[in-house]
A = this chain, B = another copy of it.
Amino acid sequence: MCGVFGAFSKNGQSVLEDVYLGLYALQHRGQESSGMAWIAKNSAGCELRVTKGMGLVHLALDQKELSSSHSNCAIGHTRYSTAGGSFLSNAQPITANYSRGSVAIAHNGNITNATGIRRYLENRGAIFQSTSDTETILHLMAHQSHKPPLDALISALKTLKGAYSLAVIINNRLVAARDPWGFRPLVLGRRGETTYIASESCALDIVGATLVRDIKPGEVVVIDEDGEKSLLIPKETERKFTCAFEYVYFARPDSFLDGKSVYDVRKKLGQKLAQSAPCPEADMVTGMPDSGTISAMGYAEESGLRYEKAIVRNRYVGRTFIEPTQRVRELGVRIKLNPIGEIMKDKKIVIVDDSIVRGTTVQRVIAMVRESGAKEVHIRIASPPVKFPCYYGIDTPTSEELAAARMNIEELCKEIGADSLSYISVSEMLDAIGLPHHNVCTACFSGDYLNGGKDDELDL
């Protein structure tokens, strides 16, 4: 759950503002910290510079420094913690000047054998500055300082297991890399002489670039003054693992990932849900803002029920707005969501949401909606039950905290206080996504992991 963005301009135009805007469009992928790194050319040659901070892009980055700088090669990152705690030292891009020059890395995903690699390198004298799994990539490169840096990067990538979509700067070159399984998305874009890489295509739109193609699983694209060069990391398997949860919840609806429109997938998920779990006696359909809205519209369309925007979201809700006092905890979701009572009074309501994780939000919303006078509340979830943790970069809780792992659907329905609760099946979800079924990772729904769900051992 992170966003990466990179830009390289062949005609020397500064791309710093583009990267800033790109991160801004990827803010939904991470609000904990943000950072940018770039190559500044001055009389003394090239210098790698960086600005990082906690919080949203506009707070985290030093806008004064950015506006007084110029660079034709830059990357950026928005972070939602997966591996490594919530400290500034874990903010990305992570950077280093080593014997072969300057490197900066922005990483989306989660390296499953990072602990083993780290132990190996520390025993050989490496000093880690952060607890982030991303730093292992830098050290693997430095550990091969006899190779040219690009070779050292590819050699490092071969060592990694798990998920990584990377935007990298190596000595004034921009490099995009995606793990051989293609867990997390990564796209290539272009506007005039400038080439872009981004976690999602919506970040290309904001800078006026067009989507060229997705970076392929296992592909490394090197972008410099001479154009683009595509290299491939040798794969062990032909199976891909495109993350289903990106379509279900995580990506922005205006993005296209691996050729599929997220909006379209969500609408279809709602339609499938209406087919397999109808609720003909209901008076209206509404969506949990904002994640369930599009599927709710699909459900309404398919079922012929009326769609109402019956739950309003306070658009100024942020993460840090208020100290979590006892009173605030009691108020809970009411601080960000407010049902419009009048519409719901004495009505039978279908509420569509994208997924249930811990179950606390949906439970409180049902209570609120009942207080507002609704007669019946039927919950429809536009994905299968989430029963397994994700090891590839989505910040899901452990199994003990996952509501659908602790109880069956009937028990869960009772727990959250709904009149009925239905999900779609994994195969219905895969149909809605529309990619070949064996190329989609459904591990959090099915437990079907790349490697049996355990930490990978080191295999250098």
Contact = CB atoms under 8 A, between A and B. Distances in A.
A342 B253 CA distance: 11
Interface string A293-326: 1100100010000111100101110101111010
A142 interface: yes
A198 B265 CA distance: 42
B126 A142 contact: yes
Interface in A320-371: 320-323, 325, 327-328, 331, 334-335, 338-340, 342-343
Contacts of A143: 125
Nearest to A118: B99
Given A21-B331, A322-B24, A338 B205 contact: yes
A134 to B, nearest CB: 13
A239 to B, nearest CB: 28
B142 A335 contact: no
A124 interface: yes
A129 interface: yes
A56 B316 CA distance: 9
A77 interface: no
A125 B128 contact: no
Q: How many copies does the complex hold?
A: 4
A301 B343 CA distance: 15
A381 B63 CA distance: 38
A325 B17 contact: yes
What interface size band does chain A fall in? Answer: 35 or more
Interface string A107-137: 0000000000001011111111100000000
A318 to B, nearest CB: 7
A126 B124 contact: no
A125 B96 contact: no
Chain A interface helix/strand/loop/mixed: mixed
Contact of A127 (B138, B264, B339): B138
A145 interface: yes
B125 A263 contact: no
Interface string A234-265: 00000000000000000011101000010110
A63 B253 contact: no
A139 B119 CA distance: 16
Interface string A179-199: 000000000000000000000
Contact of A314 (B25, B256, B306, B338): B25
Interface string A263-305: 1100000000000000000000000001001100100010000
8 contacts: A17-B327, A56-B316, A58-B318, A121-B125, A122-B142, A126-B127, A208-B334, A293-B309
Interface of A: 17, 20-21, 24-25, 27-28, 31, 56-58, 63, 67, 96-99, 119, 121-129, 138-139, 142-145, 202, 205-208, 252-254, 256, 261, 263-264, 290, 293-294, 297, 301, 306-309, 312, 314-316, 318, 320-323, 325, 327-328, 331, 334-335, 338-340, 342-343
Given A21-B335, A205-B338, 11 more contacts: A17-B328, A24-B321, A27-B314, A96-B129, A98-B125, A124-B145, A125-B139, A205-B334, A208-B331, A252-B312, A254-B312
